[in-house]
Amino acid sequence: MSTKLQNKDAATNPRGIPFAPFVDKVEDYVSSRAEVDGTMKSFQEMISKYQFMEVNTQRRAAGLKEKVPDIQKTLDMVQFLHSREPGSEPLETTFELNDTLYAKAVIPPTDEVYLWLGANVMLAYPVAEAETLLESKLATAQQSLENCEEDLDFLREQITTLEVATARLYNWEVTMKRKEKAGNGGDDEPTDQKRILPNG
């Protein structure tokens, strides 16, 4: 049974997340009722893994949604400084010290800017080089966010596929029980008839 599941999971999406097995015929996964519990458990384990990946991807996407506007804002400012002609009048402006505190500043034309790189590290860059760096970082962050959104759609689809597979397996087992009951003369109701299906 596990080999069949592994073969079905061989294909992956571009980020290496495996496709969930699509159960068209239950008989392709189980040959008797004795294999049902093990297969059900395998499906539930896969659902849990997909849900874990979904939560992590949601967190990564949330971080990127905050990061992209910050990079864009910084890039816009660097491009503005880059567009200023040498010898232009100094520019009076305000800059943000924290969420509620701003200070006035006079900015003369410059060919150098300082960028925060994270971990309390700031480096000086020529304006043109800083613009190229920020454009690259912005493109990378936007692509990563797009990948996260695609992966979230993919993960939700795989979870749904496995939930449908679980329901089909359950229904197949119920049908087999009824056939066995009919074959045995219909004496006793099977005690495990009311298997609890997982929450969708």
Biggest CA pair distance of the chain: 101
The pLDDT assigned to 45 comes to 96
| Spatial distance between the Cα atoms of 104 and 66, rounded to a whole number of angstroms | 26
pLDDT digits 0-9 by tens, 46-61: 999 999 999 999 999 9
| Spatial distance between the Cα atoms of 168 and 29, rounded to a whole number of angstroms | 11
Whether the pLDDT of residue 194 is over 90: the answer is no
Which residue from 179, 199, 198, 200 is spatially nearest to 190, judged by alpha carbons? 179
Non-local CB neighbours of 103 within 8 Å, separated by 6+ positions: 94, 95, 97
The pLDDT assigned to 163 comes to 95
Tokens 């491009």 correspond to what residue?
Answer: 79
Mean pLDDT, all residues of the chain: 86
- What interhelical angle do 36-83 and 127-183 show, nearest 10? 160
| Spatial distance between the Cα atoms of 82 and 61, rounded to a whole number of angstroms | 31
pLDDT digits 0-9 by tens, 122-173: 999 999 999 999 999 999 999 999 999 999 999 999 999 999 999 999 988 8
Which residue from 61, 1, 50 is spatially nearest to 28, judged by alpha carbons? 1
| Spatial distance between the Cα atoms of 22 and 11, rounded to a whole number of angstroms | 12
